Amino acid sequence: MAEWLQALGGGLFIILEPHRLALLWGGVLAGLALGILPGIGGVAGTALLLPFTYSMDPAAAMALLLGLAATTTHGDPISAIVLGAPGHAASAATALDGYPMTKRGEGARALGAAYMSALMGGLFGAVLMAVTLPMVRPLILFIGSPELLALAVFGISMVSVLSGSAPLRGLTGACFGMMLAMIGSDPQTGTLRWTMDSLYLWEGLPLVPLTLGVFALPELCDLLVERKAVVSASEMENNWKGLWQGTLDCFTHWWLNIRCAWIGSVIGAIPGISAAVIDWISYGHALKTEKGAQQTFGKGDVRGVIAAESATCSREGGALVPTIVFGVPGSAGMAILLGAFMMHGLVPGPDMLTKNLHITYSMVWSIAIANILGSGLCYLFSSQFAKLATLRYSLILPVVLCMVYIGGFEGKRQWGDLYSLLFFGVLAWAMKHFKWPRPPLVLGFILGGVLERYMFISIQRYGVTWMLRPLVVVMFTMSLLSLLRPFLQDMKAHGGLRGLLSDFHAPVFRWEQAFPAFLLILFSVMMAEAFTWNFYAKIIPTIVGVGAISFCGLSLLNDIFKSENIKAKNLAAEARGEVSEKIHMDIASTINHLPPLTIFLRGVIFFGWMVSFLCSMALIGLIPTVPLFIVSFMRLEAKESWKIVVPMAMIMCLFIYFLFDWLLAIPWPGSVLGDYWMWWKDHMPSA
C-alpha cells in the first residue's frame, strides 16, 4: 500500500511541472472546442494531436491527450441544452430535460447542473480508477462474451422506461434501431443485408449522422416552424443565479450523482460496449429510481441532466483501466491513446502497475485536473452560452445547420452520410410529432450490432451453457422485469388482465395512424428480403423483424380500438394542470398551437433548405455553399440586414476553411465545378 501511495504522490508532482501542466491546459482547450462542434468529437482531436507528441516525454504526451479526451464531453451539453440539438451521441439524453428547461427560461440552471455533475462524475471516475487499479485485473478477466451480451440485453430493456406510457411504440422503435444496426455485410457469412446495392451501406450505417438526424434536425425544424427564439429575454432567469442554482442541485441530489457516475465508470471500463449507450442506461436508472421521475422526466427535470452528464463524464476514467491493464481499449479514443503508449515505449500490462506506476497515476491526475479546468472554463462562459437561446431563429439556424452538415459528414466522409442525415431527420421529425419516442430507436441502433455479435460468439464458444453463468442469469432477470414493468402497471391500473382487455370499442381511424402503417409496410419489405438470405445471416434479423411487426401492429390496433374514455381523462387532467397518465418520454413539441397545415408546410420549407444545401454542395462544393446558404437563408427567411448577413457569412466561411479544410484536412465530397476544374488543369496544355 505504501508503494501505491508513494506512486500516487509522485504522479501528482509529475503532472504539476509547468510544461506538463501547460500541455494539459492546451488539451483541455482543444477538448472543449471540439466538444462544442457537432459530430467532430474527441477521436478526431486525439488523432490530430498524436503526431505532436513524438518529441515529448510519456507523461507530457499523456497529459496533452488525456486533457482533450477528458473534456470533450464538457462541451457536448451546450448545444443540447441551449438548442435541443445534441452534437454527439453522448449528450443526446441530456437534451431530453435540458432543452425544456431552456424553453422555460432555466437554461443557465441546466448548464450549471451539467457542468457540476460533469465535474463530480469526472473526479469520481478518476478516483475510482486510482482505487481499483490494484484489484481490477481479475474482475475484467471474469467478463466474457456472455456477460457482454447480457449487458447489451439489459441496455435494450431500458426502452421500457424510455418509452413513457407507450411501451409498444418504444419496443417498435428499438427493434427498428436493431434492424438498422444490422445493415451491411454480415460478420458470420459475408451476406449483404439491406444494402440496396449501395457500396456505402456495405460496412453499415455510421452513428454520427443518425444521431444528428434523430435529435438535432427535428428541434431545428421546430425552431423554423415556430419562427421565434427558443426563449424570450424577458422569460430568461438571471444567468449567474441560474448557474448557482444548478450547482446547488447537484449537491442536493448528490446520491444520484454518485450512482450515475458509478454506472458510467463501470460500463466505460467494459471493452466492447459503446460509450454512446452510457448516458441512456444512466438516464433510465434515474427514471426508474428517483421519486416522481415518471411524471417529470422529459419535461425539464434537472435530475435528468445530472444523471446523463455525471455518467458520461465519468467514463474516461473507467475506459482507461482496461487500456492500461490489458492493452484493450475501452473506447475509440482509448484505441488511439494505446497507439501513443506504444509510440512512447509504454507497454500495457504488469509494467504499468509496477515500474511505470508513477506514470499511470500521472494519468489519473491528468483526468482529475482536466475535469476541474474544463468545468471552470465552462462556468466562466456559460452566461454567454445561455444567451444564445434568446437570439432570433434566423441568426442561429443557418450557422448551426452548416455545422450539422459538417458533423454528419464525419460518419464515413461520403455522400451517403448526408443522405442518411436527411432521411433520419425527416423520420425523427415525424416520430416527434406523432408522439413516437426517439430514444429507443437510437438505443436499439447502438446495441443491435453488439447483441448479434456476442450472441454468435457465446453460442459458438459455450454452446447453451453460457445462459447459466451467474452474472448472465442476474442481468437477464433484471431485463425481463424491466420489460414487463409497463405491462404490469397497465394491468394494475385497469384492475387486472380482464379490465385491460375489455377497455376497447368500435374502430376509429385517424390520419395519425398513417405513420405506424408506413412502418409496418417498411418492416414487411425488409423482412421479405431477409427471407432470401443465408440461414445464419437472417436468424437474428428475422427474430427482431418479427418483433418489430408484432409490436407495431399491436400499437396500431390499440390506437384504432382504444377507448376514448382514457384519452378524455388524460386531456381533462392536463386541462386542470395535473399530470396525466399519458407520458411522452421525449422532448415535447411546442408548436402544437399552430394549424397542422402550417406545421407541415413550414416543415417542408425547412427540409427544402436542407435539400438545396445538398444540391449546391454537389454543384460548387461545401465551402462556397456555406456563405451562399447563410446569405440566402437570412435574407429570404427574415430579411435580415446586410450589415449582419455579410459579416456572418464571411466569418463562418473562414472558420470552416481554416479549421476543417486547412487544420483537420477533411476530404470534402466532390462537386461538379471541382471535378471540371481538375479536368481542366489536367488537359489544358502547359504554357
- Provide the whole-model pTM: 0.81
* pLDDT at residue 607 in the model: 93
CA-CA distance, 36 to 407, in Å (whole number)? 11
Nearest to 275 by CA among 115, 94, 89: 89
Whole-number pLDDT of residue 332: 63
Residue 475 burial by CB count (10 A; 0-12/13-18/19+): exposed, middle or buried?
buried
Residue 447: how many CA atoms within 13 Å on its side-chain side?
A: 26
Q: What is the pLDDT of residue 424?
A: 93
Cα–Cα distance measured from residue 123 to residue 370, given in angstroms and rounded to the nearest whole number = 9
- 3-state DSSP call for residue 53? helix
Provide Rg for the chain, Cα atoms: 25
Tallying the residues shown for the chain, one arrives at: 687
Q: Which residue from 88, 408, 100 is spatially nearest to 275, judged by alpha carbons?
A: 88
SS3 content of the chain, % helix, strand, coil (to 5): 75, 0, 25
For 26, counting Cβ atoms within 10 Å of its Cβ (0-12 exposed, 13-18 middle, 19+ buried), the class is middle
What was the pLDDT predicted at 581?
Answer: 45
DSSP letters, 313-363, are HHHHHHHHHHHHHTS--SSHHHHHHHHHHHHTT--SSGGGGTTTHHHHHHH
So what's the pLDDT on residue 133?
67
Query: Which residues in the chain come in under a pLDDT of 50?
Result: 573-581, 687
Say how far apart CA 308 and CA 95 lie, in whole Å. 9
pLDDT number for residue 151: 77
Q: Which residue is associated with the grid cell 416522481?
A: 292
Could you write out the DSSP letters of every residue in 385-417?
HHHGGGS-HHHHHHHHHHHHHHHHTTTTSSHHH
Quote the pLDDT of residue 570.
52
Tell me how far apart the alpha carbons of residues 133 and 283 are, in angstroms, rounded to a whole number.
27
The pLDDT value given to residue 482:
78
Q: How far apart are CA 364 and CA 225, in angstroms?
A: 47
DSSP codes, 464-517:
TGGGGSHHHHHHHHHHHHHHHHHHHHHHHHTTSHHHHHH-B-S----GGGHHHH
Query: Cell numbers at residue 119, please?
Result: 465535474
DSSP string, 254-293: HHHHHHHHHHHHHHHTSTTS-GGGHHHHHHHHHHHHSTTH
pLDDT of residue 407: 80
**Residue-by-residue DSSP string for 79-112:** HHHHTS--SSGGGHHHHHHHHHHHHTT-HHHHHH
H/E stretch holding 132 reads: helix 107-132
Distance from C-alpha of 280 to C-alpha of 417, rounded to nearest angstrom: 24
Residues 137 and 321: their CA atoms lie apart, in Å, by 9
CA dist., res. 61 & res. 371, Å (int): 17
Q: Which amino acid is at 611?
A: V
Q: Which helix (H) or strand (E) holds 184?
A: strand 184-185
Question: What is the model's pLDDT at position 687?
Answer: 46
- How far apart, in whole angstroms, are the C-alpha atoms of residue 239 and residue 389? 12
Q: Which residues contact 1 (CB under 8 A, 6 or more apart)?
A: none
Residue 299: closest CA among 103, 575, 593, 436? 103
Cell numbers 451562399 correspond to: 628
pLDDT by residue (tens digit) across 222-242? 888 888 877 766 666 667 788
Residue range 635-687, pLDDT digits in tens:
988 888 889 999 999 998 888 888 777 776 777 777 777 777 666 766 666 54
Q: Taking Cα atoms as reference points, which of 88, 91, 672, 42 lies closest to residue 415?
A: 672
Phi/psi class of residue 415: alpha, beta or left (left: φ > 0; alpha: ψ in -120 to 50)?
A: alpha
SS3 assignment, position 682? helix
Cell 454506472 found at: 263
CA distance 669 to 414: 6
Torsion of CA 166, 168, 171, 177, to 10 degrees: -90
Phi (first) and psi of residue 184, to 5 degrees: 120, -165
